[in-house]
Amino acid sequence: MARSSFSFIRTSSYIIRLAIILVIFFAPLITAFLNLSSSTLRSLPRPASTFGLTGSQSILAPILVPRVSGTEGNEQVRSFFAQFFSSNLPKWAISYQNSTSTTPATGSRQVPFINFIGKRAPPWAEEGEISYLTLVAHYDSKLTPPGFIGATDSAAPCAMLLHVVKALDTALTKKWESMSAAGVDGSDPDTNRGLQVLLLDGEEAFKSWTHTDSTYGARSLAAEWEVTPHQALSTYKNPLDSIDLFVLLDLLGASDPKVPSYFITTHWAYKKIADTEKRLREDGLFWSSPNHHRKKSRRKEDGKVEARQTDEPSWFFETGKTDTDRWMGGLIGDDHEPFLARGVEVLHVIPTPFPRVWHHMDDDGTHLDMDTTEDWAVLVTAFAAEWMELEGFLEGTDKDKRDTDWSDEDGRDKETRLAAPAVRVRDEL
């Protein structure tokens, strides 16, 4: 009996390992990316004043308030999301998913949890035939310490996602209008890609993190979507099945983040965003880089500039991992867990170690590294644009919305660089 059990376990382990390897190799063949050229990367808008800590144009400032689930601050932030979409993104479909639950801090009182969902899809495609790149962050904040803001956790990630969808909206319209004029009817599943944003409520624990005191909104949404069927014979059986990739942003906005590759089955996507980061850095578009000309000029003014270039860092530093390396996907609790448990592919964008300000009162707007925060917005915009294959449909932006000082310390003028051709990428492990 013991030998038989061992043989079964060994065989099952082999099958599971083989299945994982097949997923790693063939998932990238299913999902194509169209690289953005250097000129298009340079045209991507930076958040600039929209990430200001004050001002009527800021999309970050309204989120930098205490917003514990079930409180007035939480409702105000959610209302801001609705106003932002209605004013700037009228073609997006907005919906809410509601649930209530007791918590260890509120006794028998039911606390409401309200998830905000925004999505846009090709006009010819019906639900059940659309696959969504799904960008995710939580918008609630911790109950304690009193007055906690949670700028990295996760006001800034929410603002990043608002920036992404606004930056890409016109390009989506242009692409789909062009496809419609060419007679695209949705019969090819690859033409039915949409973009979806989930701003989730109730991620934070009310007392201490457990499987029942955390991820309230995510658990409710994943469970509801699992039993919400699409029309019979649809390509995707329910809204969970329609998620092509679940990209969760959390704890972003501190300087010098290091993001491991957490899941072997989405390492191909991790390598893709790492490649996008690399190209942005090579074109001098990461303001947080120690080699950015603004940083070099500042060091020169302080008498600290070195003649040689500093080694360029990388946020996504584990591109060389293999299936035999250590994968940390099960070690960090977050909103992805109820989706992952139901078979959704997850790219978890969260640094390890966590920022120094994690769960401290210092996690406020004044302690954000704004160059890093803006760079995250640009990187996720570029990644989403390449996923949605928007090369050729993105426009340049106003001069004050992007880095237009292209003079390098080495004397080269970046405007004279040849734009890299658009390349359809098929990643391999």
Q: What is the spatial distance between Cα 98 and Cα 392, in angstroms, rounded to a whole number?
A: 39
Instruction: Choose the catalytic residue: 153, 241, 244, 250.
Output: 250
How do beta strands 93-101 and 33-34 pair? unpaired
User: Phi first, then psi: what are they for 20, rounded to 5°?
Assistant: -65, -45
Give alpha helix (H) positions in 182-266: 216-226
Radius of gyration of the chain (CA): 22
386 catalytic residue (yes or no):
no
In this structure, are residues 183 and 395 in contact, taking their beta carbons and an 8 Å threshold? no
Residue 372 is inside which H or E element, if any? Answer: helix 370-387
Q: How many residues does the chain have?
A: 429
153 catalytic residue (yes or no):
no
Q: What is the spatial distance between Cα 313 and Cα 354, in angstroms, rounded to a whole number?
A: 18
Give alpha helix (H) positions in 34-133: 38-43, 72-88
* The token pair that represents 235 in the structure block: 């390509």
Instruction: Choose the catalytic residue: 129, 153, 201, 203.
Output: 203
Q: What is the spatial distance between Cα 19 and Cα 106, in angstroms, rounded to a whole number?
A: 44
User: Phi first, then psi: what are they for 199, rounded to 5°?
Assistant: -110, 105
Angle at 122 between CA 390 and CA 28, to 5 degrees: 55
In this structure, are residues 248 and 349 in contact, taking their beta carbons and an 8 Å threshold? yes
Angle, helices 156-181 vs 370-387, to 10°: value is 30
- Nearest CA-CA partner of 60 in 167, 169, 149, 170: 149
Q: Which residues does the annotation mark as catalytic? A: 203, 250
